[in-house]
Amino acid sequence: MHASCSCSWESKTIPPRRDNDWDLQSRFKLKSKLKMYLLPGLSFGVILYWLLSTYTLGSLGREDRLGLEGLLEETRGGPGHSGVGGFIVERSWAQYSPYFPVEEYKAPPSGCTIDQINIIQRHGARFPTSGSSKTIISAVTKLKAVQDTLVDPKMDFIRNYTYDLGTDDLVEFGAVQSSQAGEEAFNRYSHLVSPDNLPFIRADGSERVVLSATNWTEGFSIASSLNIPLSSILIIPQDSNDTLDDNMCPAAGSSDEQTGEWLGAWGPDVTTRLEEGAPGANLTLEETYALGTLCAFDTVAHTSTPPNPSTSKDTRTSKLKLKLSPWCNLFTQTDFKALEYAGDLDKFYGTGYGQPLGPVQGVGYINELLARLTDSPVKDHTQTNRTLDSNEETFPLGRGLYADFSHDNQMIAIYSAMGLFPQSSPLPPVPPSNKPDPSRTWKVSEMVPFGARMVVERLSCSGSSYASASGSTDKDKFVRVLVNDKVMPLAFCGASQEGSCRLDKFVESQAYARNDGEGDFEKCFDV
Ligand SMILES: *[C@@H]1O[C@H](CO)[C@@H](O)[C@H](O)[C@H]1NC(C)=O
Ligand SMILES: *[C@@H]1O[C@H](CO)[C@@H](O)[C@H](O)[C@H]1NC(C)=O
Ligand SMILES: *[C@@H]1O[C@H](CO)[C@@H](O)[C@H](O)[C@H]1NC(C)=O
Ligand SMILES: *[C@@H]1O[C@H](CO)[C@@H](O)[C@H](O)[C@H]1NC(C)=O
Ligand SMILES: *[C@@H]1O[C@H](CO)[C@@H](O)[C@H](O)[C@H]1NC(C)=O
C-alpha cells in the first residue's frame, strides 16, 4: 500500500511500500492502518523533531528558501548572455526550467474566502529521459574525441568533463523544490485541512512523479508541525486508465515535424559555430539541440551544498544552490531564445492546441476537477478509471485540498482542454526572420517548468459585487485558476477583473470536457 511515503523514518513506523500499483483491497484497510501507525503519534512526532533538530532534514526548514536567488546571482555574473535586458537564462529552458513563480501570489478578492483547492503539479527537476540522453551522450562523446584540438577556450572544460547524469529520475534539487511546494501549500492553505480533513493526494505511477508527491507530502506535513500527518498517496499505474498521464491516445501525433522545421532554421548556424570551436567534431543538428538542453540538465543535476551544514547555525547557508553548468557558456542569448521556442513548439504541437488529439487527453482530469468543485460524482467516458472514481475511498468528495502529481505533456493537455493560454493562431514552426515573437503568450517556461503547478481555487464569496442572490450556495461559489502563481484571466467564463468566474459559469464553459471531448476521444483509437 502506498500509505504515506518512503520517508527516512519510514522503517520505524510505516509498513514498507509495495510496487507502483494500487491495491484496492489494501486501500480499504488503509484507514485502520493509518490509525495504527498514527496513533502512537507522539513518538512519531518526537522522532521527527529529533531529526529536524539534528539538521538531517535541514533542507526542509522553513527559512530554507531554495536556490533560485543563488541561481540568479550566478546567472547575472555569467558571461555574455545573462542579466542583459531582463533576460534570465534559466527561465529560457522551456520545460527544463526550474520552477519559479511567474507572478507574486495574490490573495483572493475581498469578500471571498477559499474553500477548496485543487492542485495539479509536475514532478520536480529530473535527469534527461533515456531517449534524449542518448543524443546528449553522443554529442559529448564527439566533443571529447577532439578535446586535444579544441579552439574555443570556452570549451576547455570539456577536457576534464565527465558525463555523470542518470536517466529519468528526480534529482535532489527537484526533490527539494517539491518539498518546498508542499510547505508553501500548507502555509497558504492550512485553513482547508485538519486531521479530520486530510489532503487527498494522487500520483501518476512514474517513479519521479511518485517521489515528487512523497516529498511534497513530507514538506506539507512538516510545515504543519505534523498536525497533518503524512497523507496516503493513491498511485495510478501508467498502463491503466490514468488521468495524470498522456498514455491513452494512441492515434495522437507528435510535434516532430514542427520542431524539426524550427531546428532546421536556427540549428545550422549554431552547429557551425560549435564546429569552429571544436573542429572535426561533426555535430548533427540534433546533437546541437541536445547540448543546449544539457546546459539545463547539468545545472539542475549539480547542486552545491555548503561544506559543513551541521556546524552552521544559519539555515540559509544550508540551502541547495544551482550553479550554471559550463555547457551554458557555449550558447548565446539568441540561442537560448531559439531553444526555448523549440520547447514551446514541442508542447503546442505535442499535446496543446496544435495537436488535434492533444486537449482530449486532459478531459478526464477536467471532469474529475468538475466533480470535486461541484461535490458530485464524476461523469466521464474518457481516461478516468470508473472503478476508482466511483469509490469514495479512492475518489472522495468534500475534501478541502486535493493534490495530483503528473507530467508536463499531460498538464499541457489539461490547460488546453480547459481553455487556458488561448491562441488566436497556431505557433509558426519558423517565425519571421527566425525570431520568436517575444510577446507570445505560449511560453512553456511559464506553463510547465519542472515543479509547475496549476491551482484551482474554489471561492466562497459574499457581498454585493459577488453574490448575486442569497440563499443559493452555488451562486456564492466562484473559481479562480492560477498557473505558477499567476492568476489566469478566464475570459471563457466571463471572469471579473480579478480573474474569478462564477462556479456555474465555469462548469458551463467546460463543455468540451463535459461532452467527453466531443468525439475526439473515439478518434484516439483510429489507428
Ligand atoms: C524525495 O526524493 C528523493 C529522490 O529524488 C528520494 O530519494 C527521497 O526518498 C524522497 N523523499 C521522500 C520523503 O519522499
Ligand atoms: C583539468 O584538470 C587538471 C588536473 O586536475 C587541471 O590542472 C586543469 O587546470 C584542468 N583544466 C581545466 C580546463 O579545468
Ligand atoms: C482501475 O482501478 C482498479 C483499482 O485500482 C484496477 O484494479 C484496474 O486495473 C483499473 N482499471 C483500468 C482499466 O485502469
Ligand atoms: C568527423 O568526420 C571526419 C571525416 O569524415 C572523420 O575523419 C572524423 O573522425 C569525424 N569526427 C568524429 C569526432 O567522429
Ligand atoms: C478505462 O477507459 C476506457 C476508455 O474510456 C473504458 O472503456 C473502460 O471502461 C475504463 N475502465 C475503467 C475500469 O474505468
- In this structure, the residues whose C-beta lies within 6 A of any atom of ligand 2 are 156-157, 159-160
User: Distance between CA 144 and CA 158 in Å, rounded?
Assistant: 7
Ligand 4 centroid distance, CA of 156 (Å): 20
- In this structure, the residues whose C-beta lies within 6 A of any atom of ligand 5 are 241, 381-382, 385-387
User: Distance between CA 35 and CA 320 in Å, rounded?
Assistant: 35
Q: Does the structure show a pLDDT above 60 at 51?
A: no
Q: Does the structure show a pLDDT above 50 at 174?
A: yes
State which amino acid sits at residue 212: S
How much is the average pLDDT of 136-150? Answer: 97
Q: How far is CA 200 from CA 178, 196, 206, 231, 396, in A?
A: 16, 12, 19, 7, 8
DSSP 458: E
pLDDT in the model for residue 473:
53
pLDDT in the model for residue 489:
97
DSSP 345: H
How much is the average pLDDT of 49-59? Answer: 30
Instruction: Tally the domains of the chain.
Output: 1
Contact present, 358 and 252 (Cβ < 8 Å): yes
Ligand 4 centroid distance, CA of 203 (Å): 46
3-state secondary structure of 169: coil
Nearest CA to ligand 2 atom 10: 160
Ligand 1 centroid distance, CA of 121 (Å): 16
To the query of whether residue 407 is one of the catalytic residues in this protein, the response is: no
Cα distance between the two ends of the chain: 36
7 lines ligand 1 (CB under 6 A): yes
> In 10 A of CB 142, how many CB atoms?
17
Q: Does the structure show a pLDDT above 60 at 518?
A: yes
pLDDT in the model for residue 344:
98
How much is the average pLDDT of 79-98? Answer: 77
Ligand 4 nearest atom to the CA of residue 141, by list position:
13
* pLDDT tens, position by position, 187-222: 999 999 999 999 999 999 999 999 999 999 999 999
240 lines ligand 3 (CB under 6 A): yes
Name the CA radius of gyration of the chain, rounded. Answer: 24
Q: What proportion of the chain, given as a percentage, has pLDDT over 90?
A: 76
Ligand 2 nearest atom to the CA of residue 156, by list position:
13
Q: What proportion of the chain, given as a percentage, has pLDDT over 70?
A: 79
Q: Does the structure show a pLDDT above 90 at 129?
A: yes
Ligand 5 nearest atom to the CA of residue 385, by list position:
14
Placement of cell 569552429 in the chain: 276
Confidence of residue 407 (pLDDT cuts 50, 70, 90): very high
Indicate which ligand has the atom closest to the C-alpha of 516. Answer: 5
pLDDT in the model for residue 368:
98
Check residues 426 and 9 and name the one with the higher pLDDT.
426
Check residues 418 and 19 and name the one with the higher pLDDT.
418
Confidence of residue 263 (pLDDT cuts 50, 70, 90): very high
Q: Does the structure show a pLDDT above 70 at 358?
A: yes
pLDDT in the model for residue 5:
28
Kindly name the residue from 2, 64, 81, 123 that is annotated as catalytic: 123
- What's the whole-number average pLDDT of the chain? 84
* pLDDT tens, position by position, 90-104: 999 999 999 999 999
Residues in the chain: 527
Q: Residue 51: name the closest of 83, 13, 93, 77 by CA.
A: 13
pLDDT in the model for residue 67:
35
Kindly name the residue from 408, 476, 516, 520 that is annotated as catalytic: 408
Ligand 3 centroid distance, CA of 383 (Å): 11
Query: 46-56: string of b/e by CB count within 10 Å (b at 16+)?
Result: eebeebbeebe
402, HSE (Cβ side, Cα atoms, 13 Å): 26
- Mean pLDDT is lowest, of 9-13, 113-117, 233-237, 451-455, for 9-13
pLDDT in the model for residue 282:
97
Q: Residue 524: name the closest of 346, 345, 362 by CA.
A: 362
Ligand 4 centroid distance, CA of 280 (Å): 6
Q: Does the structure show a pLDDT above 80 at 467?
A: no
* pLDDT tens, position by position, 474-499: 568 999 999 999 999 999 999 999 99
Ligand 2 nearest atom to the CA of residue 157, by list position:
13
Nearest CA to ligand 5 atom 10: 385
Confidence of residue 147 (pLDDT cuts 50, 70, 90): very high
Indicate which ligand has the atom closest to the C-alpha of 380. Answer: 5
> In 10 A of CB 140, how many CB atoms?
22
* pLDDT tens, position by position, 1-40: 333 322 222 222 222 222 222 222 232 233 233 333 332 3
* pLDDT tens, position by position, 360-401: 999 999 999 999 999 999 999 999 999 999 999 999 999 999
Ligand 2 centroid distance, CA of 154 (Å): 13
Grid cell listed for 326 = 559550463
**Where residue 134 sits, what CATH number does that domain have?**
3.40.50.1240
Q: Does the structure show a pLDDT above 70 at 311?
A: no
387 lines ligand 3 (CB under 6 A): yes
Ligand 1 centroid distance, CA of 517 (Å): 36
Confidence of residue 451 (pLDDT cuts 50, 70, 90): very high
Q: Which domain holds residue 440?
A: 1-527
To the query of whether residue 408 is one of the catalytic residues in this protein, the response is: yes
Ligand 2 nearest atom to the CA of residue 160, by list position:
1
List 278's β-bridge partners, or say none: none
